[in-house]
Amino acid sequence: MEAGNTIPQEKPAFTIEGRDRIYLIGFVVGAGILLFLGRGLVQGSALVTWGLTFGATTAVAVLLVSLYRVQIELRSSRRQLARKEAELSFALEVQRALFPHHLPRSNGLEFAAVCIPARGISGDYYDVIQFPDGRLVFAIADISGKGISAAILMANMQALLRTLSETGIPPAEVCSRLNRHLHQVTDESKFATFFYAEWNAITRHLRYVNAGHHAPIVLGSCCGRQLSEGGFPLGMFATSEFQTGEMVLQPDDLLVLYSDGLTEATKGGEEFGDRRLKAEIDRRSGQSLVDIQAGILDAVRKWAGDELEDDMTLLMVRATEAKEEE
C-alpha cells in the first residue's frame, strides 16, 4: 500500500534573521579591515583607536543580540516540541485503548496480535470481538497513509465496525456499509484494505470478506488456500459489491493475517517478502502463537533493522477444540 507522511512539514523553530547576519558580517569585516589598515597607527592616532574599539564593540554587541534571539527562539521551540510530544503521547494512549485489551480463548479459536507503529501512531488496525450470543468476529485493516490523519480514520472505522458487527448482519453487508461510509467521509486518495471474518463455533465455519488486503497465510487442513474472495479496498468506489468466502477450520489450523509493513520491510532495496514470512511461520508452526509472533518480528527486524518504514501488524488465529472461555 502506498503510504506517505500526511503531517505538514513545520518551519524550523529558530533562525537568525538575515538582517542580523548581514549586520554581524559587515561589522566583523569592517573591524578586520580597520585592524589591518591601522595596525601601525593604533598608538599614534586616537581616531584609529576609537574606530577599532567602536567596530569591535559593535560587532560583539550584535553577536550577543543574535545569540540572545537564538536563546529566546530555542526556548520557544522547546516549549512547542514538548507540547507536540504531549499531544502525540495522548493520541497514542487513545489509540492503544481502541485495540482489544483481552483476546478471547473460547469457541474454538485462540488469538495473538500486535501492532507496531512506524511513526508514533498507526494507521493499521486489528480487532477481535466476542459477542454475548456466541458470535465471534475478527478483522485487520491497513489505512492508506501514516500519522495523525490515518490514525483518525482508523478510529472512525473501528467505531463503525463495532456498531455494524454487533447487529449480526452478514460480512458482505458489513463491508458494504463501511465502504460507503469511508467513501463519503474521505477524499479519493484515502482507502483501507480490510479483512473481516465471522466464526461459527458450532459448525466450525468461517465466513470472510477480503477487501483488497493481503490474503492470510493458511496452514493445516486448508494449507495453501487463498482467502481472496471479497472485493476492492474500502472507500475506493461508492458502489463496490463484496463476495463472501467460506471455509471450515479443523483443530490446529492456523491463519496469519498481516499488514504490508512486514513483507515490504527492505534491506538494500530487497523486501522481506511473502516467501520469507511463510518460511518463518512454517518453521515455527508447532510453537505457541506468542512465540510465532515474536519469531516473525525478530526475523523482520534482523532483515530490515529497527527503523520502520511502515506500520507492522500481525493477527494470528489458531483453531482449537471448542471450550469455555478461561
pLDDT in tens, 173-211: 999 999 999 999 888 778 999 999 999 999 999 999 999
For residue 283, the enclosing domain spans 99-319
Task: State the CATH number of the domain containing residue 174.
Answer: 3.60.40.10
Beta-carbon contacts of residue 73 (< 8 Å; ≥ 6 apart): 13, 14, 15
- Whose cell is 458494504? That residue is 176
Per-residue DSSP letter, 40 = T
Phi, psi angle pair for 149, to nearest 5°: -65, -40
Q: Are strands 205-211 and 230-231 parallel, antiparallel or unpaired?
A: parallel
Both 160 and 214 in a single domain? yes
Both 315 and 195 in a single domain? yes
CA distance 276 to 272: 6
| Mean residue pLDDT across the chain | 82
Among 27, 57, 88, identify where a domain stops.
88
Both 83 and 108 in a single domain? no
pLDDT in tens, 226-282: 999 999 999 999 999 999 999 999 999 999 999 998 999 998 889 999 999 999 999
